[in-house]
Amino acid sequence: MKKHIVCFGDSNTHGYCADPADSADGGTRFNEEERWPCLLQKALGGEYLVIEEGLNGRTTVFEDPVKEGMRGIDSIFPCLMSHKSVDLLILMLGVNDTKERYGANPVVISLGLERLVEKAKTVPAWPGSGPNILIISPAHIGEGIYRSPAGSRLGAGCAEKSRALAPLFAAVAERQGCAFLDAEGIGEYNELDFMHLSRAGHAHLAEKLAALVPGLL
């Protein structure tokens, strides 16, 4: 059986494209030649199966009062069991957790991530070697978001919170025995909403992961 790698994240794993001019298809989702999980699959080759599990708006543990089904902790069990055995879980969440409506500071956001990690580790979907998780701290939301329509959706403080997440997420990874990657400076965002990966950002993140992932398996 191939090595199963589950990429569990939000719109930046789903491949949302905020700038249709940046996508070859001119749409609002990057295609299979552009999204980082697909590029990772291509780079790793046939011995691996890279599974996309991205959902626009997903949080770690926070209940969205506007959209149902956004809490990662509610879907991690069926997700991992659907893809059993899971050799590596890549978690890239946190952008949506910075929304003003959740009222969570960076420390609380990191506690939400840790709770999600702890839940994932209890799911009986791992091979005999046990849970294997890579936590990615997303690139920082740009200050330009406050000049864009996305700024009103995320609300005050989102950019500032995102800048504080990486060391807190790294501490979670250390406590939980997970691998860690800070995507700041690797996966750059577009300059329309300053919170979604550009086409180049997807490619750069995939390139970094292609070098990192084989050493985790």
pTM, rounded to two decimals = 0.97
Strand ranges inside 42-149, DSSP E: 48-54, 88-92, 133-137
Contacts of 129 (CB under 8 A, 6+ apart): none
What are the b/e assignments for 158-170, b being 16+ CB within 10 Å? Answer: bbebbebbbebbb
Determine the average pLDDT of the residues in 99-128: 97
Q: How confident is the model at residue 149 (pLDDT cuts 50, 70, 90)?
A: confident
**Distance from CA of residue 97 to its chain's centroid?**
12
Distances (CA, A) of 196 to 25, 43, 130, 184, 189: 17, 22, 32, 13, 5
Q: Cα–Cα distance between 119 and 117 in angstroms, integer?
A: 5
Residue 50 has a pLDDT of: 98
Query: pLDDT per residue over 39-59, tens digit each?
Result: 999 999 999 999 999 999 999
Q: Which CATH number is 3-216's, of 3.90.70.10, 3.40.50.1110, 3.40.50.720, 3.20.20.70? A: 3.40.50.1110
Q: Which residue has the higher pLDDT, 135 or 129?
A: 135
| Residue for token pair 């329309």 | 192
Question: Quick one: which of 38, 144, 127 has its CA closest to 89?
Answer: 127
Q: Give the residue extent of every domain in the chain.
A: 3-216
Q: Cα–Cα distance between 32 and 42 in angstroms, integer?
A: 10
Q: Cα–Cα distance between 184 and 200 in angstroms, integer?
A: 14
Query: pLDDT per residue over 162-198, tens digit each?
Result: 999 999 999 999 999 999 999 999 999 999 999 999 9
Query: pLDDT per residue over 11-27, tens digit each?
Result: 999 999 999 999 999 99
Strands laid side by side in the 88-92 sheet: 48-54, 3-9, 88-92, 133-137, 179-182
Position 118 pLDDT exceeds 90? yes
